[in-house]
Amino acid sequence: MLYRIAKPLLFRMDPESAHHLIVDGMGAAARVPGALPLLSAAWGVGESPELAVDLFGLHFAHPVGLAAGLDKNAKAVAGFSRIGLSFMEVGTVTPLGQPGNETPRLFRLPPDEALINRMGFNNEGADAMAERLARLKRRRIPLAVNIGKNKATPNEKAADDYRACLRKLYPYGDFFVVNISSPNTPDLRALQHGDELALLLAAVKDEMIVQAERHGDAPKPILVKIAPDNTDEQLRYMAAAIVQSGMSGIIATNTTVGREGLTHPHAEQTGGLSGRPLTKRSTEIIRSLYAITEGKMPIIGSGGIFDADDAYDKIRAGASLVEVYTALIYRGPGLLRSLHKGLRERLERDGFTRITQAVGADHRSSPVRR
């Protein structure tokens, strides 16, 4: 109800201005006495043991988290932790702050329930994020830090940037995500292929071990976020490199450069497309990755999740967890209660007692059919 009232006002604003208003507002709420419990009362979800997931040595109350890109600078972790998410990503963060691409760089496509962005990793830098996360009293939900390279850093030195992010932010993330799949940083997606991928992941893994030893911890999980715009052959190579490098999982997928089926005039804008047009393709990528890795590499599904069917399809295709972003812009935080309720209903319908039983169900010889 609250978001239905606010949405028309937000959608009359420039998309990036509305974005900052929401994030800054959520950040400010954490500093107002009594505001965080009110967020929980308005949008939080109850405990449902059948939806709980234990993965990467972490506990997730249910499978639905927040994708990177909304809280780029970790300004609103406390607030977002109270609206029904089971985990969240912050970032993408780069070693040095950078302004990103020229504005306008964020576009709504309401008839298509989509967004196009060419933000370009605009962020305040790893030091600013570390300072902000250090002030958090505790993390209520698992926090992933999504790391990238600065625009000015050539690909042959990209590993140095990912190492720098790990050095500065290691204490503050429960797991880390290597972003090599944004279409808005020149040549970044080239890091997904060839020897560059194996060398980059080896460097990231090495730095994780160094930081874990330095802090007296076990190495934290590292996931790799990939693009949806890859051939089957490229997917097989990437999956093999990710497995061989000792990464903990894959996030599938980032935004797409495809424009099939769009109706809004903004379809001509360059950048990464997210939202409803990505639903089917991201699920196909998850299905392929699960088959390629024989279900042994955990997958977080991201892309076009607007209802419980979208989330459940990705889980049955092979995702252990899923992420939302664009649907929150169009549906508001009430989306999370809807997903929570809908996933429980689908489990009961299919005869599963735990959400983990549904992961990859479509691949089994005699899956429970809907």
- Tell me the per-residue pLDDT of 9-43, one tens digit each, with 9 for 90 and over: 999 999 999 999 999 999 998 899 999 999 999 89
d(C-alpha 336, C-alpha 114), whole Å: 18
| Residue 124 near residue 98 (C-beta atoms within 8 A) | no
Q: Please state the three-class secondary structure of 340-356 as a single string.
A: HHHHHHHHHHHCCCCHH
Alpha helices by DSSP H, listed for the chain, are 2-12, 15-29, 35-43, 77-80, 126-134, 158-169, 194-215, 232-244, 279-292, 308-317, 326-331, 334-350
SS3 state at 271: coil
| Residue 91 near residue 123 (C-beta atoms within 8 A) | yes
Instruction: Look at residue 370 and tell me whether its pLDDT is greater than 60.
Output: no
Mean pLDDT of 67-73: 97
SS3 state at 161: helix
Contacts of 345 (CB under 8 A, 6+ apart): 308
Q: Which of 182, 274, 282, 288 is catalytic?
A: 182
Amino acid at 49: P
CATH T-level assignment (fold) for domain 2-363: TIM Barrel (3.20.20)
By CB neighbour count within 10 A (0-12 exposed, 13-18 middle, 19+ buried), where does 52 fall?
A: middle
Is 369 or 360 the better-scoring residue by pLDDT? 360
By CB neighbour count within 10 A (0-12 exposed, 13-18 middle, 19+ buried), where does 31 fall?
A: exposed
Residue 1 confidence (pLDDT)? 61
Residue 282 annotated among the catalytic residues of the structure: no
d(C-alpha 217, C-alpha 268), whole Å: 48
Contacts of 318 (CB under 8 A, 6+ apart): 286, 287, 289, 290, 291, 295, 299, 301, 359, 360, 362, 363
Mean pLDDT of 97-103: 97
**Token pair belonging to 53:** 């997931």
Closest CA to 64 of 307, 370, 358: 307
**Local confidence band at 48 (pLDDT 50, 70, 90 cut-offs):** very high
For the residues of 279-346, what is the DSSP string, one character each? HHHHHHHHHHHHHHTTT-S-EEEES---SHHHHHHHHHHT-SEEEESHHHHHH-THHHHHHHHHHHHH
d(C-alpha 59, C-alpha 36), whole Å: 22
Distances in Å between the alpha carbon of 369 and those of 40, 307, 341, 362?
35, 19, 20, 8
| Residue 167 near residue 214 (C-beta atoms within 8 A) | no
Cα Rg for the chain, rounded, in angstroms?
19
Strand partners, 272: 117
Strand duo 88-93 + 143-147: pairing:
parallel
Distances in Å between the alpha carbon of 77 and those of 41, 87, 158?
17, 10, 27
Write the pLDDT tens digit of every residue in 116-141: 999 999 999 999 999 999 999 889 99
Write the pLDDT tens digit of every residue in 201-228: 999 999 999 999 999 999 999 999 999 9
Distances in Å between the alpha carbon of 182 and those of 192, 261, 274, 357?
11, 21, 12, 32
Residue 182 confidence (pLDDT)? 79
Contacts of 194 (CB under 8 A, 6+ apart): none
Is 7 or 184 the better-scoring residue by pLDDT? 7
Residue 219 confidence (pLDDT)? 97
| Residue 326 near residue 274 (C-beta atoms within 8 A) | yes
What is the 3-state composition of the chain as percent helix, strand, coil, each rounded to the nearest 5? 45, 15, 35
**Token pair belonging to 81:** 């932790």
Domain borders along the chain are 2-363
Residue 367 confidence (pLDDT)? 47
Write the pLDDT tens digit of every residue in 261-292: 999 999 999 999 999 999 999 999 999 999 99
What secondary structure letter does DSSP report for 259?
-
